[in-house]
Structure 1
Amino acid sequence: MIDDTRRLNSFLRKTRRGHVLKITHELYLRTDIPCGSNACQQCTIDESTLLDKHMNNGNSLVSTGHYLLVDTNVVLQQVDLLEDPLFTNVIVPQIVLDEVRHKSLAIYKRIRSVISIPERKFFVFINEFNKNTFVLRKPGESPNDRNDRAIRKISQFYNEHLKQQIPIVLLTDDIANRDLARQEGLLAFSLKEYVTTFNRPELLDRLVLKEESFDLEKDIGKRKEIIFPEHVPLSEVQRGIKSGRYLQGTFQASRENYLEANVFVQDSEKYNQLFVQGYRNLNRAVHDDIVAVEVLQEQEWATPFSLVIDDKDDDQGDLVIEQEETGLVVPGVSSKKTASCRIVAIIKRNWRQYCGILQESLPGAKFHLFLPHERRIPKIRIESRQAEELKNSRVMVQIDHWPRLSRYPQGHFIKTLGKLGDKETENEVILAENDILHHEFPEAVLDCLPKLPWTITAEDLATRVDLREFCIVSIDPPGCTDIDDALHCRTLENGNYECGVHIADVTHFVRPNTALDLEARERGTTVYLTDRRIDMLPVLLSGNLCSLRGGEERFAFSVRWEMTPDAKIVHTQFHKSIIKSKSAMTYEQAQTIKDDSGINDEIAQSLRRLHSIAAQLRKRRMDKGALVLESSEVRFQLDTETHDPLSVMNKELRETNWLVEEFMLLANISVAEKIYELFPDCACLRKHPAPPISNFDPLVKAADTKGFLIKANTGKELADSLDQAILSAHPYFNTMLRMLATRCMMQAVYFCSGFESDMKNFEHYGLATPIYTHFTSPIRRYSDVLVHRLLAAGINADATFPDLLNKRVLQQICNNLNYRHRMAQYAARASVDLHTHLFFKNMHTDEDGYVFGVRKNALQILLPRYGLETTLFLRDKEGKSVGEFNEEEATQTINNMTIHMFDPVTVQISVDTNNVQRQRIQIHLVKPFIDGFSVSPIIKNKTTLEDIDDTITTPVKRLKVKSSK
């Protein structure tokens, strides 16, 4: 029941104009809020009752069964430990959850995830509306002190409420709060005191140690330390940003050189990007941090190193750093300097959990260095009691802080991922490093799925256009089970064509704000790895009820155009439909049917009409300046049992590939125009900004080495320039130029139209279209689900709801989708890299390639057959650098042999397993033959590593791998 007593909580707030407002909150306090314990004889036992009546986790500090009560700091700082299954029967007060949500949304989601698992028995106690536990803030009392007092009050309440049957243990690392609790007769311990008694070293390793816990003088010794500059206080940073003295941006560390980084600046008319070089100027920033920077005087601007630092240099990292600090490391020879800055403060840390290995240290050492798998992350210093057991394992570590006197950040151990080098372990690393959500779908999500057998009802038929008699077909890669799209083309009585794109109607099954919808929103996209697929939606939908399989009736969202034979659109209509695909074909099958003049059935005629229209649509796009960019795509043939790669080959693109692509693009453009017309403030669109002209400098310079002029003031100029840059004697030259052009591009992103005042900012540069969205793949992209809902609401095919028309909510979703899409791409590339290493692990072969880049100490080599770009380091057998670098002409001269950009070469490929952290592809130069540097071609009966002259090693960089859709 609701108590007749009410609480009035008043406070004063000063407005911007200097007025003082009195704000009063009225609270009705209840006496019927359950405690959640099965041992309670007063509260009603129902589905919300979680806490066990009898339990004992083996803790010797409190030998009897007990409940744990956690405060805010324990959740915020030690959530890694709370996620361990050891912690059960935990009371999480409402006041703690609210404070955690305010301070860290990421940790809030993690603790909420633990709470959602019934077996963990984490109970949320609603203390703020309970008459027995509500505490009013006293005059002069800080919010933090009031919250601490409220938590002690909760502990007292449980002791009295349960009549001392089950002890309540308050876990808090706040010394003052712990002392007050003990003075009040409560059981209170620090988390370290509590877990020490379990005799599990990994639990202590997972504790977050405070900065003062590291005695650097004692632990590191008396050698001279690099002293970082102090960070400017955030209050001063805010004033500096307003005055223009400081700029804010995102810190992006270099993949090739850990002594360099770029800061992508926000809200600056003068600078889009600033360069950072040098350990002191980096000033403890970590990749992806939001930082404040101060632009250096022009005479202090730096030149990016032309050096590529590899793992051999990493082994001597301290030496390199010290040389750089004393000015002994010389930058590249170019006199061209880049606008540079120094980091003055960290505005927001974006630390995450990192995978890697522990560096071997002295026996009995207390602290150890962790070597991250990601090269852009610095080494991390952790305390561990199980270093010997973790010697050959992949582990996960979290950064806690980075003191000024420490060369490396300090962190703590989280968990072991598995044995080093094991394929499943490496897959786990890929998923963890790229933050791929790959947990099993929770029960709440599965409960949202339709029950089988699923049937179409009379009501469904009444609200949809019946297209089951149309000759509709789907065209996809081999083995595709999540079929999003299908096509048809028929001749109308007036001689025009009716072309249709039919997309899986996912929103019929995924209703807004259900557990299924929220899970899909968080995942954002399906992730395609080489040997597996991580679905955005449960397989019942992605591989069955939503998939437009051949011969089966399915719900679709259709876009139909009436077109003239020369591909002019006469009319467009959008509607929900029911279809029955006549055939689910592969690209190869569709191509064979289209090309075989002896086949003239309805499917073949439809494919030919589609091809005719698509060819004209494609030409029209090219004439407008749409870009044809290149990247090497490879396909692995995998062993059916082990999923190890048996062969690797380039993907073959047929006419049917771009046939499907043209109609998908047309559907996306048509839908983008429609939803923006219907909802101009909350349309979910996708833009591809035009790159700054400076982005094209590497491309222009590369083309100039062969006498071609690349113009890039507009997309049309760039497209025409690339079309003209053809060398008849070098057929792969144009392809490589287009690969370089791809790297000059900006990233395409989702956005809400209500946050862009100028439609010029809607442009998709690569496709040369003024407006664009994603509509055609709702099974695997949540952005398409949003677009389906907007379009359905606009044509009265479905109801709207508040969040759909809230531009701020929509933009937040778009931000997550951009992140998830980017991470999925990174994971896919990493998976291809892993399988490439597995493929080459026990083989050595000679392969033809091309010089794709010339650096001060290396050549970038492109191997088209395997879709690889590798780095050939220019060292002799003693490890000394060789070669004379000419940056202006992009050449390297070794022993009087000059190698130019785009030159053909032959290299020897194998796998270097010396570095246990990063096994890598290594190459040796075979042709052109350079005495004392090149190696002999492989003889057929010589296939072991010992038969190859070990002179030059290289890490591998995977080219962009496109989705097969």
Structure 2
Amino acid sequence: MSQAIVSNRKRLSEGLAVTQKVFVRSRNGGATKIVREHYLRSDIPCSSKACTKCLDIVVPNAKNELPNFVLSEDPQSIEKIGKHYVVLDTNIVLQAIDLLENPNCFFDVIIPQIVLDEVRNKSYPVYTRLRTLCRDSDEKKRFIIFHNEFNENTFVERLNNESINDRNDRAIRKTCEWYCKHLKKQNINTILVSNDRLNRDATKNPVDSNIIALSLLEYVDLLPNVDEIKDSIPNLEVSSINVNDKEAKSEFTFPEYYSTSRIMGGIKNGVLYQGNIQISEYNFLEGSVNLSTFSKPVLVVGQKNLNRAFNGDQVVVELLPQSEWKAPSSIVMDAEHFNVNDNPDDDDDESNENNGNLIMSDKQRRLLAKDAILAQKSNKIQPTARIVAIPRRSWRQYVGQIAPNSIDTQVSSGSQNVFVLLMDKSLPKIRIRTRRAKELVGRRIVISVDSWPANHKYPLGHFVRDLGEVESVQAETESLLLEHDVEYRPFSKKVLDCLPSEGHEWKVPSDLTSSDALAKDPQLARRKDLRDKLICSIDPPGCVDIDDALHAKKLPNGNWEVGVHIADVTHFVKPNTPLDAEGASRGTSVYLVDKRIDMLPLLLGTDLCSLKPYVDRYAFSVLWELDDNANIVDVNFTKSVIRSREAFSYEQAQIRIDDKSQTDELTQGMRALLKLSIKLKQKRLDAGALNLASPEVKVHMDSETSDPNEVEIKKLLATNSLVEEFMLLANISVARKIFESFPQTAMLRRHGVPPSTNFETLNEMLHQRKQMTISLESSKALADSLDRCVDPKDPYFNTLIRIMSTRCMMAAQYFYSGAYSYSEFRHYGLAVDIYTHFTSPIRRYCDVVAHRQLAGAIGYEPLDLSHRDKNKMDMICRNINKRHRNAQFAGRASIEYYVGQVMRNNESVETGYVIKVLNNGIVVLVPRFGVEGLIRIENMTKDPDSSAFDEVEFKLTFTDNETGKKREVFVFDKVDVYVKSVLDPVTSKRKAALLLK
């Protein structure tokens, strides 16, 4: 989209002027001219506490509040510059956001609005961090956004033949010039920090002569604590301090990316394809891209074909000739067992270029040759491609540790290049330059990736901060939260200010109809008083954020009144507040073994919203009339006030239900709920709902030391299913209601039909080894076929197949109803036509939106426009899908860490199941610990070269180390494995190491 600004400014009234912006928007080959009025003001303040002029021009907002002046009247003073404010250009924000967030540098910073807009267009994650930095800026940092585009004194019009970038750079310089003149009497200088040499040089023009312009490095060099923060300067190709002469002369090079015009033309003509790259967990030199054009993923094999892609990047690929198509690799390859060149200052050894820059032994070369021959013979051939562009990077902050063998021990002081090995094995190591290499060995560190030039074998990055010693609980916990992009910092003051001023003393009014109560909350008259109902909650042991409660009562006509009561979070979390923005950003609470990272502040989650027993609480209730067969006769939705009679754990509830001596009305209601839930579940199963499984375990912590001391497989009771069935029923009922009222923007959740190709390998293994098969004609056919996968000799086999089937499924996702046709709303796993999440608003933002939409649907209160706008709903859904997935991975990583700690002192022989057979190893699942691990061929036999892999029979044959006899291992075999805990030499993560007995 091109833009022009017409010079047609006129004064409308005091403090207000108007000009015009003319946009030319191109879409589908056509062009549309759009003219918009652009208002300019003379009352936008500089926000400096030292300024006396702006106090006379500012006007109160709609709440009669004056703007808060943030910039210090006595800012930092440094040599050669004196007291100053800092103005940043767009590239500095994009390149150095880590440095800007550093609490020990960059104070009194002005972000021009044009910079904010450009950052948003180029990197939404960085934009979010910048907004957070400005919004939550404390008394120490003091960041502000200056609306230069609406200030009459700083707005600039685009000149003829001037590019948009040049106009924006000029607007930034104009902002600097205005601040310089505006604060001249206060002796406060304004510094432009920019890495754009042309932008800095432009400040030397006579009109801009009072601006001081410095590069990032030049500015940091002037700071008194330069030695502490210099390691955090972005490691960019253009930065001369970070590119040594040897590497600059390197003959090594990746293929250059295609130009934008070539990419757009190629995609349009169907010769280039766009998708996201997923690097194999078993082979770091193989990735796959799912494209709608092909039934199977397209493979990208080899370092040059991967062409600097990171796992998760959006890439553009070009197909290779059909003669080069092949099957996925059947060997395990990682940097630990294939000798990667680890010299950070030696990137020009062209002789290492074969097979992805690996220095390989003859044995490794023979293994690769064997794999290539098998691939050519295989009937599992897939298209192969090479990456020709990366439109969007998935780069974020990463956690890793310095590779000790990359440190030059001869360097006693000063900076040196070292490699950082990341915790995620699918990612390449990162080269950083640091003065602290020796002191950081053995510690978890956070780094950011800055660039990956074509003549560098590895990406360049910079040090951000030190998390602590490897394997310490604090460092490992913070590492996994950062690795999975979980926001864990304390809630800001602005967020906490949104909470009720009474704090923990807040109470539901005892009389809902009193004039005092109605004066505070006029909506109170619409709430239904359900405090007479015998309501209880059933949750995991120790649960304090109680989202849901239930009740059942026999009706005079023989039917049942059943209620699901959900915490009324939206009474406290109002739209368009800092509290709402924070909840929307976090998206979900994250549950780790030893802690919970809350979506909402503790006051709400564990007190005011939590449906604790014996106290009055606001709720959103779904009330059904059900007959004895659990058919819905009627359903109503209402905001309510409840008083839970008891908070049970699953086990406590089960004991009470099973105790025949308990005949009170509350217990009778729980028994009715259990009977009805059994009928509800059977209806779902009859409709084709899937009963899948995952290797879930629970880690028990010592009550005194908080050390992990035991691992057990989670046990599910009938009361688990009781709660689940009624939560599902509530979610389905709410989904129907909100879709009926808001057919274009209802917040829903779908689960797609898995492609048959996802089950190909599993079906081949089942057919070959067990003469069984999984049917995929429908969810009902799949459910029935899973029921038939039974081995009379092994009760666990059916669970194993359900676990493996779960991994073949599509991921469920949140969406707004206007994004799909009704037929695509279906939730495959639950076998229902429409579904949402409503029952956990304390810990999921989707449920908060569903609550607001349901309140609008029943006429309780108007629905906020943000939940009636497709674009905003799309942004919400994208974020909560990402946050939900990250929370799951973080939870699993926490369990994996603590299981590893338990096994440190608990080495044992356990039963395992072979779930994958490879050319050079087998993957075994150990149900006892819920872990799986790779056993390499070299750890099973003294003669790996004599091993034989049969991809048809899924069999690995080798000479056993102990007996000296030939041994065959097939997929699904039940094997004994020796389990111990080891520290991974690459990632320094403690993991389960398995050895075949």
TM-score by length of 1: 0.91
1:250, distance to aligned residue in structure 2 (A): 0.9
**SS in structure 2 opposite 1:866?**
coil
3-state SS of 1:647 partner:
strand
What is the SS of the residue equivalent to 2:79? coil
Which of 480, 504, 509 lines up with 1:430 in the alignment? 480
Match of 1:218 in 2: 245
> Structure 2 counterpart of 1:218, which letter?
D
Q: 1:354 maps to which residue?
A: 398
Partner of residue 23, structure 1: 35
SS, match of residue 400 in structure 1: strand
Cα displacement (A) at 1:223: 7.3
1:313 aligns with 2:377: no
Tell me what 2:62 maps to: none
**Which of 770, 780, 800 is the matching residue for 1:736?**
800
8 Å contact from structure 1 (residues 555, 579) kept in 2: yes
CA distance in 2, matches of 1:778, 1:185: 54
Structure 1 residue aligned with 2:254: 228
2-side partners of 1:22 and 1:820: how far apart?
37
**Match among 130, 143, 151 for residue 111 of structure 1:** 130
Match of 1:322 in 2: 354
Among 254, 257, 260, the residue aligned to 2:286? 260
Local SS of the residue matching 2:300: strand
Aligned to 1:816: 879
1:141–1:466 distance in 2 versus 1, CA, 3 Å? same
Note if contact 1:682-1:754 (Cα within 8 Å) is conserved in structure 2.
yes
| Stretch deviating more after TM superposition (609-618 or 146-155) | 146-155
Kindly state the Cα deviation for residue 522 of structure 1 after the two structures are TM-superposed.
Answer: 0.6
Per-residue deviation, 1:581:
1.1
Please report how far the alpha carbon of residue 925 of structure 1 lies from its aligned counterpart in structure 2 after TM superposition. 3.7
Residues 487/898 of structure 1: CA separation in 2 closer, same or farther (3 Å cut)? same
| Partner SS for 2:437 | coil
8 Å CA contact 1:2–1:28 kept in 2: the answer is no
Contact residue 8 and residue 27 of structure 1 kept, 8 A? yes
Residue type matched to 2:71 in 1? L
Q: Distance in 2 between matches of 1:880 and 1:630?
A: 35
The residue matched to 2:566 in structure 1 has which SS?
A: strand
Which stretch of the first structure deviates more once superposed, 445-454 or 583-592? 445-454
Distance (whole Å) between structure 2 residues aligned to residue 443 and residue 919 of structure 1: 36
- Supply the distance in 2 between the matched residues of 1:257 and 1:769 (Cα, whole angstroms): 38
Q: Tell whether 2:930 aligns with 1:906.
A: no
- Code of the residue aligned with 1:344 in structure 2: it is V
Local SS of the residue matching 2:299:
strand
The amino acid across from 1:723 in the alignment is: D
**Deviation larger for 704-713 or 245-254:** 704-713
In structure 2, relative to structure 1, the CA distance for the partners of 1:767 and 1:21 (3 Å cut) is closer
Q: Is residue 40–residue 150 contact of structure 2 (8 Å, CA) maintained in 1?
A: yes
The aligned counterpart of 1:755 is 819
In the TM superposition, 1:812-891 aligns within 5 A as 812-876=875-939, 880=944, 883-891=947-955
Change (3 A) 1:412 1:61: farther
Greater displacement, 610-619 / 214-223: 214-223
Query: What secondary structure, in the 3-state scheme, does the structure 2 residue paired with 1:908 have?
Result: strand
- What amino acid sits opposite 2:507 in the alignment? T
Q: Secondary structure at the match of 2:550?
A: strand
CA contact (8 A) 1:667 1:776 kept: yes
Residue 961 of structure 1 is matched in structure 2 by none
Structure 2 unaligned blocks of 5 or more: 1-11, 57-65, 343-350, 359-364, 513-517, 960-965
Q: CA deviation at 1:185?
A: 4.0
Q: State which drifts further: 813-822 or 311-320.
A: 311-320
Q: Distance in 1 between matches of 2:32 and 2:683?
A: 63
Task: State the 1:881 CA deviation.
Answer: 5.6
Kept in 1, the 8 Å contact 2:701–2:708? The answer is yes
**What one-letter code is carried by the residue in structure 2 that aligns with 1:348?**
R
Aligned to 1:174: 196
Per-residue Cα deviation, 1:58-86 (whole angstroms, up to 9, x for no partner): x3343x32222222222222222222222
Structure 1 position 789, deviation (Å): 1.1
User: How many angstroms apart in 2 are the aligned matches of 1:635 and 1:5?
Assistant: 64
Distance 1:514 1:866, change over 3 A: same
Q: Could you tell me which amino acid in structure 2 is paired with residue 619 of structure 1? A: Q
Q: Specify the alignment match of 2:809 in structure 1.
A: 745
Measure the CA separation in 1 of the matches of 2:860 and 2:232. 52
Amino acid across the alignment from 2:96: Q
SS at match of 2:938: coil
- Which residue matches 2:326? 302
1:651 equivalenced with 2:714 (yes/no) = yes
Question: CA shift at 1:894, angstroms?
Answer: 2.4
Cα pair 2:485 2:886 within 8 Å, conserved: yes
Residue 348 (structure 2) aligns with: none
The one-letter amino acid paired with 1:144 is N
In the TM superposition, what are the counterparts of 1:621-660 in structure 2 within 5 Å? 621-660=684-723
Deviates more, 1:779-788 or 1:353-362: 353-362
After superposition, the C-alpha distances for 1:492-527 in whole angstroms (9 at most, x for unaligned) are 111111222111111111111111111101110000
Partner Cα distance (2:148, 2:742) in 1: 42
For 1:70, give the aligned amino acid.
Answer: L
Separation in structure 2 between the aligned mates of residue 522 and residue 22 of structure 1, nearest angstrom: 33
Deviations 1:2-44 (A, max 9, x none): 64784534657487787785836453441x4322223323232
- Specify the SS of the correspondent of 1:701: helix
Aligned partners of 2:319, 2:807: CA distance in 1, in Å?
A: 26
Q: 1:462 to 1:881 in 2, by over 3 A?
A: farther
Q: Output the CA distance in 1 between the equivalents of 2:352 and 2:752.
A: 38
Q: Deviations over 1:868-893 (max 9, x none)?
A: 11221121576946632222112222
Residue 43 of structure 1 pairs with residue 43 of structure 2: no
Offset of residue 908 of structure 1: 1.6
Of the three residues 760, 783, 789, the one matched with 2:852 is 789
CA 1:186/1:320 → structure 2, altered by over 3 Å: closer, same or farther? closer
| 1:203 correspondence with 2:224 | no
SS at match of 1:118: coil
Letter in 1 for 2:86: L
1:79 counterpart = 2:97: yes
Are 1:447 and 2:447 matched, yes or no? Answer: no
Change (3 A) 1:190 1:497: same
Structure-2 change in CA distance of 1:9 and 1:674 (3 Å): closer
Select which of 328, 345, 351 maps to 2:389: 345
Q: Residue 925 of structure 2 aligns to a residue in which SS?
A: strand
State the match for 1:190 in structure 2: 215
SS at match of 2:853: helix
How far 1:479 moved relative to its partner?
0.4
Give the structure 1 partner of residue 420 of structure 2: 370
- Please give the per-residue CA displacement for 1:103-159, whole angstroms capped at 9, x wherever unaligned: 322222222222221321223333333343333333333333333333333333333
- Give the secondary-structure state (helix, strand or coil) at the position aligned to 1:865: coil
Tell me the amino acid that sits aligned with residue 73 of structure 2: K
| 3-state DSSP of counterpart to 1:631 | coil
RMSD over aligned CA atoms reads: 2.5
- The alpha carbon displacement at 1:271 in A equals 4.2
Structure 1 residue 668, shift from structure 2 partner: 1.0
Higher mean C-alpha deviation, range 649-658 or range 160-169: 160-169
- Deviation digits for residues 784-833 of structure 1 (CA, Å, limit 9, x no counterpart): 11111111111112221212211221121011110000000010011011
- Compare 894-903 and 563-572 and name the one that shifted more: 894-903
Residue pairs, 1:493-892, within 5 angstroms: 493-704=556-767, 705-757=769-821, 759-876=822-939, 880=944, 883-892=947-956
Contact kept in structure 2, 1:78 and 1:208, CA below 8 Å: yes
Aligned mates of 2:970, 2:96 — CA distance in 1: 55
TM-superposed CA distance for 1:834, in Å, is 0.9
Structure 2 CA distance for partners of 1:692 and 1:166, relative to 1, 3 Å: same
SS at match of 1:211: coil
Larger deviation: 481-490 or 189-198?
Answer: 189-198
CA contact (8 A) 1:874 1:881 kept: no
| 1:337 CA drift (Å) | 1.2
Q: Report if the CA contact (8 A) 2:774-2:785 is conserved.
A: yes
User: 1:33 and 2:44 equivalent?
Assistant: yes
Contact kept in structure 2, 1:875 and 1:881, CA below 8 Å? no
Gaps of 5+ in 1: 928-965
Amino acid at match of 2:92: V
- Cα distance change, pair 101–585 in 1 and its aligned pair in 2 (3 A): same
Mapped to 1, the partners of 2:261 and 2:866 lie a distance apart of 35
